Amino acid sequence: MDELALQECLSDLKDLVDSRLKFYIEQSVPKHGQVAELAGDVLLAGGKRLRPLLVVLAYELVGGRDLEEILPLALAFEMIHTATLVHDDINDNAKTRRGLPTLHERFSQEKALIAGDWLFVQGFSLGGRLEGEVVTIIADCCGLIASAEFKQINHVMDLTTSPDDYLTIVKGKTAGPFSGGCEGAAVIAGASAEQREALLRFGTEMGISFQLVDDLLDIRGDERMGKPRGSDVYEGKMTLPLIHALTILHGPKRQRLVEIILGFSDSMFDELIELLTWADSISYTEILIKTHIERARSALDLFEESQAKHALQAITDLVIDRFE
């Protein structure tokens, strides 16, 4: 399948997801009023729709043919993802999201909190109509998001945070919805245990690399993030480049890095980059991203060549493209 046709297929699928989300909100506004409008503003403000794309493609990869059968799960994961963004933005006191002011900035924290709840409810409303096994996957995934967020909070500015702590947080918070979406899709399509396990692994590895790219872009600055560079450092989040540099550096350099992490301000940015470069933490993170993407790709080896497989491979390329 040629590159152009593949991009068109991905773009058509994204358009379909966008139009279904829009339709869902339009139907909800007459029933639920302003809370549905505000939630819709965030939901429809853009976004790559990566989670729903993965869900649909994973379903097709194992032979699923009925889009209407899989779309509820795809939309459910996007709603739940957006709900967590709204609540995270409250907790991080973030000013912008996808280049727009956050809900709590535009309205109030009260309304943002409830709009997030509403999005959760809609996600579960869509997901709750699926078979019991899939409901369990969604619920476990959401439970682990909350659990991972607690761990992340407990590790804010914790200089002893290990790569293992980092992975536990990322697996729950970021990779969980990727792997849960892929696994749920496999169950709905009636996949074999082996296929299901491979898709779960694919989602996990994709999710980890995705978070690592986010970590990198936070340090590099990237306007596509729609938020100021260094936000994570400012919030005391222990991203992988920081964890790595804390392990590598010694003496006065490590001491200075600690000072920067504990009292970060924008004026320290160049110095931070210098220390991270000295420790090779940025290239280490880049290598790690490629390793996880490679693992995601090999999880697909099990499956025969198909349009869905090529599309999933193309999405792994997109993750790399985000930072290269």
| Interface residue list for a copy of itself (CB under 8 A) | 28, 31-36, 83-84, 87, 90-91, 108-111, 113-118, 120-122, 124-125, 127-129, 132, 135-136, 138-139, 142-144, 146-147, 149-151, 153-154
- Least distance from a copy of itself to the Cβ atom of residue 128, Å: 4
Which CB, 36 or 187, lies closer to a copy of itself?
A: 36
Angle between helices 269-278 and 240-248 (to 10 degrees): 60
Which CB, 138 or 300, lies closer to a copy of itself?
A: 138
d(CA 324, CA 234): 24
Which CB, 144 or 275, lies closer to a copy of itself?
A: 144
Which CB, 152 or 239, lies closer to a copy of itself?
A: 152
Which CB, 147 or 291, lies closer to a copy of itself?
A: 147
DSSP code string of 138-150: HHHHHHHHHHHHH
Residues 6+ apart with CB under 8 A from 292: 205, 206, 208, 209, 212
- Least distance from a copy of itself to the Cβ atom of residue 219, Å: 23
> Token pair of 73, please?
């799960």
Other beta carbons within 10 Å of 26: 12
- Name beta bridge partners: 100: 97
Q: Yes or no: say if 198 and 303 are a contact pair by the CB < 8 Å rule.
A: yes
- Least distance from a copy of itself to the Cβ atom of residue 172, Å: 9
- Least distance from a copy of itself to the Cβ atom of residue 16, Å: 23
- Least distance from a copy of itself to the Cβ atom of residue 108, Å: 7
Which CB, 18 or 88, lies closer to a copy of itself?
A: 88
- Least distance from a copy of itself to the Cβ atom of residue 21, Å: 16
Which CB, 100 or 113, lies closer to a copy of itself?
A: 113
d(CA 31, CA 99): 29
Give, for 97, the enclosing helix (H) or strand (E). Answer: strand 96-97
Burial per residue of 145-169, b for 16 or more beta-carbon CB atoms within 10 angstroms, e otherwise: beebbeebeebeeeeebeeebbebb
> Token pair of 232, please?
């994570």
- Least distance from a copy of itself to the Cβ atom of residue 125, Å: 3
